[in-house]
Every structure is written in structure tokens, then in C-alpha cells.
Structure 1
């Protein structure tokens, strides 16, 4: 590999950048520098904070700690957040008890699929399915609501066919 190839790769590889600067990229503090760089880069691309932290191999608590202890990192972090505010991924919506109640209410009517109800209350179908997999009580209540919805659809279909006969 030639030097121009190495220098061309430096902007995309924080550890290589540390090494080219003449420092040990595997030293603890230099590794942290590389992680900060990865985090800020991913954040600048529009990732959510938690996802960018995960990509950098650190926790969101570590990001908060860096922001508090390192004023330069803290300012860079805030600048990237302001810069990406317009196009960054939206914050995830929590599956609050009110949203759960609304979801089950919608499913019981028989007029909504899980995907349609999730979209209407500002969630993804994946978030609901993940909660169903990890929470047996939620899963049981959801099955009950879906069964009630199916019964409501069947009743509506039977009423409609009886009226036409």
C-alpha cells in the first residue's frame, strides 16, 4: 500500500488517523479519541445518539461523561446536534401506557391491523412486535384485542350478509 492510499483512507478510519499522527492507536486514550470521532461522524450522518454511540462501541452514559468532562468534545457534540437537527432521524416514540391502551382499543374495533394502528399512534410495527416478544402480559393482551377485533369483523360480515339475504 502506498502512502497516498494511506492518506486517502485517514478521513474514514479514526485509528489510522491516530497512527498517522504518530500515536499508538491501541492506547486507551487514543482509542477513546477514535471512538469520539466515530460517534461524531455517525451523528453527523443523521444517526440517533444511541445508535451513533453503539456504532462507536460506547454507551450513551459515556457520551454524556465525555460531554461534561471534555469541553471541546462537548462543544463539538452540540454543534453536530444543531447541524443535523433538520435531517437527523426522529427520536423514537415510547410505547407508553396511554399508547398501549390506544393500540389495544384500535385492534379491538377490527378496523386496524397492527401495522396501521402502530403507524397511527406514532410507532413502528417492529417496536410492537419486540414488546410482544419480551412481555408475556403484553402479548396476551394483544392476542385478546386481536381476537376481539376478528370477532367484530366477523359480526359485521354476518350482519351485512344477513341484511342482503
Structure 2
């Protein structure tokens, strides 16, 4: 341990080597990306996030707030390789789920995360852990009152069908597509073709569940 690290460890004794949170500290202005890169470099070199914050002169609270927006920094703080291929996939999935939790439909959320909707469908079909998180986000969006559209446009209809095909319930599919379940029910009653495709999607979802 260097003299600097030893000093910092002593300063933060009783806080696990990390600076304590202080509500009285006002958040600083966002710091430059160059400083974020330096933080990542220090953390990857073996420094704790608290020590890296002191080395760069950034309040620890601001480092953590930045990590919420900079998932590369978050990966480093978590002890992962911030530039690894697997971490990039994790960041993309996290961005997708956050956008969906805020009420975006899956297609737009996928684009925001730099993903294709086809790839998201593949993950939903083949990755049980992602599928579980994906469904829970849909439930959360519905539970917390994300405003749902009452218009089942062609785009939203395709989204609902796609979600059901990967094993989602109709309620989960509606939440993920950003459309009210009542609107989908009404469309099913008056649109025979949509109803037929939904039945086929439900059967595909059941087959997928049996094969999981």
C-alpha cells in the first residue's frame, strides 16, 4: 500500500475504506470525461473507488452519480473489465431495461441501447435470466403507472405479438409495448387477423416454455 492509500484508508476507517455519504454535500457539476477515464484507469489498477475519487479530487458521491450514467465506470467500480465484450453486452441490456422501465417500447429502447429488436427477441427466447428481468421490468412499468397508449397501431400490434411469441403473457406484452391491455382486447375482438396471429404467437410461446 502506498503512503497515499494508507492515509486514505485511515481517514475512512469505519466506512470500509470508502468515504462516508454526507447529505450536506451539494452535488458538484458533472466532471469531464477525461477525469472519468482517469477514474476507470485507477480503479482497474487496483485502487478502491474511494481512493480513486481522492486521487482525482472528485467527491465520492459524484463518482457514484456518474456511474449511474456511465456504465463503463460502473463496471470498473464493480470489479469487472470495463472494456470486455461481455461487459458491453451487460451495459446494453441494462440500458434497454432502464429505458423500458421509463415507459419506452421495446423497439425504441433497443435502439437507444444500440441493439436490434431481433437480438432482443433472441435474448428473450434463449436467456432465462434476461427473460425474467425483462418481464419484471414490464410488470414494474405497469405497476407504477407508466402511461399506456389506447391506440393499437400496426407497430404496437407487432410488438405485442413479438413479446407473446417469446413467452410473455398478454399483460406483460402490453406493458412492454406501451399499450393498454384493454385496447389490445378490443382489437382482438374486432380484428380476426390480429386474433389469429396472437393465437399463433401464444402457441409459439408455450412451445418455447416447454423446451426451456
2:146 aligns with one of 84, 87, 98 = 87
Question: What is the match of residue 12 of structure 1?
Answer: 69
CA distance in 1, matches of 2:126, 2:106: 18
- Listed one character per residue, the Cα deviations across residues 115-163 of structure 1 (whole Å, up to 9, x for unaligned) are xxxxxxxxxxxxxxxxxxxxxxxxxxxxxxxxxxxxxxxxxxxxxxxxx
Calculate the aligned-residue CA RMSD, in Å.
2.1
CA distance in 1, matches of 2:148, 2:96: 15
Task: Give the TM-score normalised by structure 1.
Answer: 0.51
Tell me, which stretches of 5 or more residues in structure 1 are unaligned? 96-165
**Deviation (angstroms), 1:20:** 1.0
1:6-155 equivalent positions in 2, closer than 5 A: 6-85=63-142, 86-90=145-149, 93-94=153-154
Structure with more of its chain in helix, by fraction: 1
8 Å contact 1:48–1:88 — kept in the other structure?
no
Tell me, which stretches of 5 or more residues in structure 2 are unaligned? 1-57, 156-212
Task: Give the TM-score normalised by structure 2.
Answer: 0.41
Rg larger for: 1
